[in-house]
Amino acid sequence: MKVLLVEHHHLFRKSLRMLLELNDSIRIVGEAGNGKEALDLVEEVMPDVAVIDISLPGRSALEIARQVKRAYSSIKIVILSRFEHNIYVDYAFRCGASAYVLKDCVSDELLMALEDVMTGRRYVSASRAQPLNA
């Protein structure tokens, strides 16, 4: 599985990379710290999955998700967020996300979300965060 990481906090992004690279089935094909870099990299590396932080500076992460899905419908989008509210979850799915994972999740949960989206399923972190229109 080819994964693009989009996270503006350098240390958190590097930690995600190290965590995901422990899994032999995952290959990190690119990293971006903002929306413009992410959109440029998507076309260049053609990931299977883009893991995108919801709180990017500048361009909205959900707008990036929408643009990626519009241009490349096969790319799965996993939104990483600190917001548990249903309105964020619902909006992420309406923008094309396949998963909504809370940043305070355990590492196995992110891996589970990636596996689910690759098999065509949706994933929502935590029992309190459920999409309104899934």
pLDDT tens over the chain, length 134 residues: 999 999 999 999 999 999 999 999 999 999 999 999 999 999 999 999 999 999 888 788 999 999 999 999 999 999 999 888 889 999 999 999 999 999 888 778 999 999 999 999 999 986 544 555 54
132 domain residue, yes or no: no
What percent of the chain is helix, strand and coil (3-state, nearest 5)? Answer: 40, 20, 40
CA-closest candidate to residue 40, choices 7, 67, 1:
67
Count of structural domains within the chain: 1
pLDDT of residue 86: 87
131 domain residue, yes or no: no
Question: For residue 70, what are the domain limits?
Answer: 2-124
27 domain residue, yes or no: yes
Q: Residue 42's CB: how many other CB atoms inside 10 A?
A: 21
103 domain residue, yes or no: yes
pLDDT of residue 67: 96
37 domain residue, yes or no: yes
pLDDT of residue 59: 82
* Separation CA 60–CA 65 (nearest Å): 9
14 domain residue, yes or no: yes
pLDDT of residue 126: 66
CATH label of the domain that carries residue 116: 3.40.50.2300
* Separation CA 55–CA 71 (nearest Å): 22
* Separation CA 69–CA 103 (nearest Å): 22
